[in-house]
Chain A
Amino acid sequence: MLTINEVRKQFGSFTAVDGINLQIPRGEIFGLLGANGAGKTTTFRMILGLLTPSQGRITWNDKEISYETSDLIGYLPEERGLYPKLTVREQLIYLGQLRGMTRSQIQEQTDKWLKRFGAEEYLNKKVEALSKGNQQKIQFIAAVLHRPELLILDEPFSGLDPVNVELLKSAVHELKKEGTTIVFSSHRMEHVEELCQHLCIMHRGKSVVQGNLKEIKRSFGKKNVSVKADFDLTYLKDTAGVIKHRTTGDGIILQVEREEVAKDLFQAIQSKGFVRKFELEEPSLNDIFIEKVGVVHE
Chain B
Amino acid sequence: MSKFMTVMMHTYRSKIKSKPFLITTLITIGLLFVITNMNEITKMFGEDEASKIGVIDRTGDTLPALQTQLKQTSDDLKAEAFTKSESEAEKAVLDGKIEGILILDRDDSGIISGTYKAEDVTQQSLIADVELALQQIKNKSAAESIGLNQEQLAAIYSPVSFAKESLSDSAKSEEEAAQVYILVYVVLFFMYMAVMMYGSMIAVEVATEKSSRVMEILISSVSPVTQMFGKIFGIVLLALTQLALFVAGGFLAVKLNGQLSGSESIINELKLNEIPTSLIIYALVFFILGFFLYSTLFAMLGSLISRVEEVNNLMTPVVIVIVAAFMIAMFGRENPESGFVAAASYFPLFTPMLMLLRVGMLSLPVWEVALGISVLVGAIFLFAIIGARVYRGGVLMYGNAPSLKLFKQALLLSKQEKKNTTDI
Which residues of chain A have a CB within 8 Å of any CB of chain B? Answer: 11-12, 45, 48-52, 54, 66-68, 70-71, 73, 75, 77, 79-84, 86, 90, 94-95, 97-100, 142-143
Q: List 8 A-B contacts (CB under 8 A).
A: A52-B419, A52-B420, A66-B420, A68-B423, A83-B214, A98-B3, A98-B222, A143-B217
Instruction: Give the CA-CA distance A86 to B413 in the complex, in Å.
Output: 31
Closest residue on chain B to residue A78 by CB atoms: B216
Contact string against A for B residues 371-400, beta-carbon threshold 8 Å, 1 for contact and 0 otherwise: 000000000000000000000000010000
Is the beta-carbon distance between B213 and A66 smaller than 8 angstroms?
no
Q: Which of B14, B220, B416 contacts A48 (CB 8 A)?
A: B220
Chain A residues lying within 8 Å of B219, measured Cβ to Cβ, are: 50
Residues A11 and B413 in contact, CB atoms below 8 Å apart: yes
Chain B residues with CB under 8 Å of A79's CB are 213, 216
- Chain B CB within 10 Å, residue with most, of A50, A71, A75: A50
Complex Cα–Cα for A79 and B211 (A): 10
Structural contact, A81 and B222, CB atoms closer than 8 A:
no
Are B6 and A97 in touch, CB under 8 angstroms? Answer: yes
In the complex, are the beta carbons of A94 and B10 less than 8 A apart?
yes
The number of chain B residues with a CB under 8 A from chain A is 30
- Min Cβ gap A27→B in Å is 22
Is B221 close to A, CB under 8 A? yes
Instruction: Provide the residues of chain A in CB contact with B213, threshold 8 Å.
Output: 77, 79-81
Contact A98/B419 with A81-B212, A84-B212 known, Cβ cut-off 8 Å: no
Please determine whether A75 and B220 come into contact, CB atoms closer than 8 angstroms: yes
Question: What DSSP secondary structure best describes chain A's contact surface?
Answer: loop
Contact A67 B216 (CB under 8 A): no
Q: Is the CB of A51 within 8 A of B417?
A: yes
List chain B residues, Cβ under 8 A from A68.
423
Determine whether B401 belongs to the interface, using a CB cutoff of 8 Å to chain A: no
B416 adjacent to A95 (CB under 8 Å): no
B135 beta carbon closer than 8 Å to chain A = no
Residues of B within 8 A of A45 (CB): 396
Q: Is B7 an interface residue (CB 8 A)?
A: yes
Do residues A70 and B215 form an inter-chain contact, with CB atoms below 8 A? no
Q: B223 in the interface, Cβ–Cβ < 8 Å?
A: yes
A97 touches B212 (CB 8 A): no
- Asked whether B221 lies within 8 Å of A98 as measured between CB atoms, the reply is yes
B1-29 Cβ-contact flags toward A at 8 Å (1 or 0) = 10100110010001000000000000000
> A54, A81, A99: which has the most chain B beta carbons within 10 Å?
A81
Nearest-CB residue, chain B, relative to A9: B416
User: Out of A11, A84, A98, which one reaches B6, CB within 8 Å?
Assistant: A98
In the bound complex, residues from chain A placing their C-beta under 8 Å from that of B221 are 70-71, 95, 98-99
| B227 smallest CB distance to A (angstroms) | 9
Q: Does B218 contact A (CB under 8 A)?
A: yes
| B201 nearest CB across to chain A (Å) | 14
Given A51-B396, A75-B216, 15 other A-B residues pairs in contact with their CB atoms under 8 A = A12-B412, A49-B419, A52-B420, A54-B416, A68-B423, A75-B220, A81-B213, A81-B215, A83-B208, A83-B212, A84-B212, A97-B3, A98-B6, A98-B7, A98-B222
Main secondary structure of the interface of B (DSSP, over half): helix
Contact of B222 among A54, A67, A75, A86 (CB under 8 A): A67
Whether B214 lies near A81 (C-beta < 8 A) is: yes
Q: Which residues of A contact B413 (CB under 8 A)?
A: 11
Interface residues of B in 184-223 (CB under 8 A from A): 208-209, 212-223
Docked Cα-Cα span, A67 to B423, in Å, equals 8
Contact A52/B416 with A77-B216, A81-B213, A99-B221 known, Cβ cut-off 8 Å: yes
Question: Which of B1, B3, B6, B216 has the most chain A CB within a 10 Å cutoff?
Answer: B216
Min CB distance A46 to B, Å, is: 10
B307 to chain A, nearest CB (A): 14
Cβ of B39 to closest chain A Cβ, rounded Å: 44
User: Are B220 and A50 in contact (CB-based, < 8 A)?
Assistant: yes
For B413, B416, B417, B423, which residue has the most chain A Cβ atoms within 10 angstroms?
A: B416
In the assembly, what is the distance between CA of A97 and CA of B221, in Å?
10
In the bound complex, residues from chain A placing their C-beta under 8 Å from that of B420 are: 49, 52, 66-67
Task: Please name the residue on chain B nearest to A51 by beta carbon.
Answer: B417
- A41 (CB) vs chain B CBs: closest residue: B216
Residues of A within 8 A of B418 (CB): 52
* Cβ distance B354 to chain A, nearest Cβ, rounded Å: 39
CA distance A215 to B223 in the complex (A): 40
Taking a contact as CB atoms under 8 Å apart, the answer to whether B14 and A77 are in contact is no
Could you say which residues of chain B place their CB within 8 Å of the CB of A86? 14
Q: Report A-chain residues with C-beta under 8 Å of the C-beta of B423.
A: 66-68
Whole-angstrom CA separation of A80 from B7 in the bound complex: 21
Q: Mark B408-424, 1 if CB is under 8 A from A, else 0.
A: 00001100111110010
Bound complex: CA A12 to CA B416 (Å): 10
B residues less than 8 Å from A51 (CB atoms): 396, 416-417
Chain A CB count within 10 A is highest, among B214, B219, B396, for: B214
Least distance between B12 CB and chain A CB atoms (Å): 12
Whether the Cβ atoms of B396 and A50 lie closer than 8 Å is: yes
Q: B419: which A residues are within 8 A, CB to CB?
A: 49, 52, 66
In the bound complex, do residue B417 and residue A52 qualify as a contact, i.e. CB atoms below 8 Å apart? yes
Q: Determine how close the nearest CB of chain B comes to the CB of A63; give it in whole angstroms.
A: 14
* 215-248 of chain B: CB within 8 A of chain A: 215-223, 226
Contact yes or no, A70 B220, CB < 8 A? yes
Q: Which residues of A contact B212 (CB under 8 A)?
A: 81-84
Report Cα–Cα, A81/B220, bound state, in Å: 13
Complex-state Cα separation, A10 to B217, whole angstroms: 23
CA distance A142 to B220 in the complex (A): 12
Would you call B1 and A97 a contact (CB within 8 A)? yes
Q: Are A95 and B220 in contact (CB under 8 A)?
A: no
